A and B are shown apart, each in its own frame.
Chain A
Amino acid sequence: AQTVTQSQPEMSVQEAETVTLSCTYDTSENNYYLFWYKQPPSRQMILVIRQEAYKQQNATENRFSVNFQKAAKSFSLKISDSQLGDTAMYFCAFCDAYSGAGSYQLTFGKGTKLSVIP
């Protein structure tokens, strides 16, 4: 079974600064997907960024980027120029590529509560 570990229950960052959230995972699969989801106080799950394991290039989405280290099974999220709206719970998630056609069954980490301080 896959496991996802987020070792930082809470973090804070000053507005406009950069913060990195860590995530490690354990799997015996070679092909899989990794995700970062944001859950603001509204509790709506919002996809932040997605990475395919077979791609060496780190995914980026505007101010969000990842550092994907496949050998180390590490998948950290960097948020640049932090904004007040980034305040939320952030969940790292894993999905193997063989869950079945179209079946993206996610395993979530416990989450990191990020607070952006004005």
Chain B
Amino acid sequence: GAVVSQHPSRVICKSGTSVKIECRSLDFQATTMFWYRQFPKKSLMLMATSNEGSKATYEQGVEKDKFLINHASLTLSTLTVTSAHPEDSSFYICSASSGQSEKLFFGSGTQLSVL
């Protein structure tokens, strides 16, 4: 089946630094990728939707200058948390859609801890 690789699985960084999370579709072309945030024992909250070659669409309340999303190719989307602060600590999950299959494939997630 289709596989989405998300890297890194865990990252610890100092406050004020930037962190980049990668999401790759390994065996299909992902026309659309989604980025979610999940707080402990909570549900997934959609942050943004990215389509290859165009600007991401951010959900209300998500700071686009803080959470930079790039979807430069059909197999790679990146989420960069800029000037990270402790309140950005969370579990981030990406998902990808091929557009030709009525299925969505999830990455394994990234646990971000900002000290």
Contact = CB atoms under 8 A, between A and B. Distances in A.
B99 A44 contact: no
B76 interface: no
A85 B45 CA distance: 26
Interface string A98-113: 0011111111111101
B58 interface: no
Question: What's the interface size class on B, roughly?
Answer: 20 to 34
A38 B89 CA distance: 23
Q: Is the interface of B mostly helix, strand, loop or mixed?
A: strand
Interface of A: 33, 42-47, 50, 91, 100-111, 113
B31 A105 contact: no
Interface in B59-106: 91, 93, 95, 97-100, 102-104, 106
A113 B45 CA distance: 17
A106 B93 CA distance: 13
Contacts of B104: 47, 104, 106
- Chain A to chain B: the 6 pairs with minimum beta-carbon distance, closest first: A102-B99, A45-B106, A108-B43, A103-B32, A110-B43, A104-B104
B106 A33 contact: no
B1 to A, nearest CB: 10
Nearest to B45: A108
A102 B42 contact: no
Q: Is the interface of A mostly helix, strand, loop or mixed?
A: loop
A100 B41 CA distance: 30
Q: Which of A33, A43, A50, A100 has the most CB of B within 10 A?
A: A43
A42 B9 CA distance: 11
B25 interface: no
Given A46-B106, A50-B103, A103-B32, 14 more contacts: A44-B108, A45-B93, A47-B103, A91-B43, A91-B44, A102-B32, A103-B49, A103-B99, A104-B103, A104-B104, A106-B104, A108-B44, A110-B42, A111-B43
A113 B44 CA distance: 14
B42 A104 contact: no
